[in-house]
Each structure stands twice: as C-alpha cells, then as structure tokens.
Amino acid sequence: MTIPQFVQKAINDELKMAGLYSEQNNPLYGEITKIAFSSTAGLTNGWWNIALTLKGTSGQSASTEVTYNFKSGFDAITACNQTAQALGPAVQDLIKQLVADPKFAALISNN
C-alpha cells in the first residue's frame, strides 16, 4: 500500500466509524500536498511531516499539516523500523487535526 492509499484508507475508516461515509454521497477528493520524513533528526529522533487538502464537489476545501515527532534509534535497522511504525500515529494526528477544523465540518455538511 502506498502512503497516499494508507492515508485514504485511514480517512475512509474514520468516516465509516463516525457514520459519515457512504458510497452514495458526493465524494471527497484528497491531495497530499507535502510528505517528508527523517529518521535521524538529532541522531536518535525522527519526524513525519504531512500536509493534506480535502475538496468536496461543492467547491469547499479543508487543509491541514502536521509534524509528528518520534524516537527513531541509533542504528539504521531500528531507525527505519521506527520510522515505518510512526506513520500510523502521524496519520492519526493528521486526521485529528483535520476533523477539528471548522472547515472540515462545513465540507462534510455541504458535500
């Protein structure tokens, strides 16, 4: 699964759990406008930086960006594994920040 597919699935799963997802509703279109990571920030720390814009068929949009910091490790194998493991929590923070934005509520209600 690619990172955009992972983000899409995470958003869809959250909308389904909230009862806001339906195959019959007008779709939301998402674009990851920024994605970057480091597994060696400060030698044993890392971060993910993800920015996302959702647009509805009504023309409204909501955007957010999150930087998620984590402990990566000293050796390459640990740092790579920790970076991969941190993607899930980073995407959860992105979704949390997105749905807290009043523009998201307007996007969902007008879509």
The answer to the question of residue 99 being in a domain is: yes
Q: Each residue of 40-92: pLDDT tens digit?
A: 988 899 999 999 999 988 888 999 999 999 999 889 999 999 999 999 999 99
Output the six-digit token pair for 44.
């044993």
Burial of residue 95 (number of CB atoms within 10 Å: 0-12, 13-18, 19+): buried
The answer to the question of residue 7 being in a domain is: yes
Q: How many domains does the chain have?
A: 1
pTM for the structure as a whole: 0.88
Residue range(s) defining the domain that contains residue 44: 3-15+32-110
The answer to the question of residue 67 being in a domain is: yes
